[in-house]
Amino acid sequence: MNKTQSGQITIHGISGSPGICIGKAYVVDREGVNLIKRYPVSADRVQAEIDRFKNSVVKAKADHAEIIESLGADLSENLNILQTHMVLFKDKMLYGKAIDTIKADQINAEWALQKVTRALQDMFQQIDDPYLRARGNDIAQVSDKIMAYLVRGEDIRICDINMRVIIVAHDLSPADTSQIQLERIKGFVTDRGGKESHTSIVAKSLKIPSVLGLGTATHNVKNDDILIVDGSAGIIIINPEEETLFKYEEKMARFEAYRADIERDSHLPAVTQDGVALNLLANIELVEEVVSAKDNRASGIGLFRTEFLYLDLNRFPTEDELLKKYRELVELMHPAPVTIRTLDINGDKFNPFIDPVEEANPALGLRGVRFCLENEDKFISQIKAILRAATCGNIKLLIPMISCVEEILQVKAVIDKAVLELTHEDKIFNKDIPLGIMIEVPSAVLLANELAAHVDFFSIGTNDLIQYALAIDRRNRRVAHLYQAHNPAVIKMIHLICEAARNNDVELYMCGEMAGDPMNIPILLGLGLTNLSMNSGAIPVIKKMIRALDVSKTKRDLETIMGFDTVEKITQFILEHYKASLPYKDDDE
Catalytic residues: 198, 511
Least distance CB 362 / ligand PEP (angstroms): 12
**Can you say how many angstroms the Cα of residue 552 is from the centroid of all Cα atoms in its chain?**
35
Selection from 288, 257, 285 nearest residue 200 by Cα: 285
Q: Please identify, among the stretches 7-15, 231-239, 376-384, 458-466, the one whose residues bind Mg ion according to the rule CB under 5 A.
A: 458-466
Compare residues 18 and 512 and give the one whose CB is closer to ligand PEP.
512
307 binds Mg ion (CB under 5 A): no
Least distance CB 459 / ligand PEP (angstroms): 8
Least distance CB 305 / ligand PEP (angstroms): 5
Identify what 516 binds: ligand PEP, Mg ion, none; CB under 5 to 8 Å per kind: none
Bridge partner list, 338: 301, 395
Asked whether 177 and 202 are in contact (CB, 8 A), the reply is yes
Compare residues 108 and 533 and give the one whose CB is closer to ligand PEP.
533
Which one among 440, 473, 517, 557 touches Mg ion, defined by CB under 5 A? 440
| Half-sphere CA count of 200, side-chain side, radius 13 A | 27
Alpha-carbon span 210 to 222, nearest angstrom: 18
Alpha-carbon span 94 to 60, nearest angstrom: 14
Asked whether 244 and 237 are in contact (CB, 8 A), the reply is yes
Alpha-carbon span 269 to 290, nearest angstrom: 20
Opening angle at CA 272, ends 267 and 277, nearest 5: 70
- Judged by CB under 6 A, the chain residues 266 through 325 that form the site for ligand PEP are 303, 305
- Judged by CB under 6 A, the chain residues 504 through 533 that form the site for ligand PEP are 511-512
Alpha-carbon span 250 to 95, nearest angstrom: 59
Q: At what angle do helices 79-88 and 46-70 cross, to 10 degrees?
A: 170
Tell me how far apart the terminal alpha carbons of the chain are, to the nearest angstrom.
Answer: 19
- Judged by CB under 6 A, the chain residues 51 through 90 that form the site for ligand PEP are none
Least distance CB 290 / ligand PEP (angstroms): 18
Identify what 318 binds: ligand PEP, Mg ion, none; CB under 5 to 8 Å per kind: none
Size of site (CB under 6 A) for ligand PEP: 10
Asked whether 7 and 239 are in contact (CB, 8 A), the reply is yes
Least distance CB 338 / ligand PEP (angstroms): 15
Per-position x/- string for 315-354, each x denoting binding to ligand PEP as judged by CB under 6 A, each - no binding: -----------------------------x----------
Least distance CB 344 / ligand PEP (angstroms): 6
Least distance CB 29 / Mg ion (angstroms): 29
Which one among 209, 300, 461, 522 touches Mg ion, defined by CB under 5 A? 461
Opening angle at CA 312, ends 311 and 314, nearest 5: 65
- Give me the torsion for CA of 30, 311, 193, 574, rounded to 10°: -160
Cα→Cα distances 405→17, 96, 296, Å: 36, 50, 37
Query: SS3 for 70?
Result: helix
Identify what 574 binds: ligand PEP, Mg ion, none; CB under 5 to 8 Å per kind: none
Compare residues 107 and 439 and give the one whose CB is closer to ligand PEP.
439
Compare residues 341 and 486 and give the one whose CB is closer to Mg ion.
341
Q: At what angle do helices 242-264 and 539-548 cross, to 10 degrees?
A: 70
Compare residues 107 and 511 and give the one whose CB is closer to ligand PEP.
511
Per-position x/- string for 435-474, each x denoting binding to ligand PEP as judged by CB under 6 A, each - no binding: -----x--------------------xxxx----------
Compare residues 210 and 459 and give the one whose CB is closer to Mg ion.
459
Asked whether 497 and 439 are in contact (CB, 8 A), the reply is yes
Give residues in contact with ligand PEP (CB under 6 A).
303, 305, 344, 440, 461-464, 511-512
Give residues in contact with Mg ion (CB under 5 A).
440, 461, 464
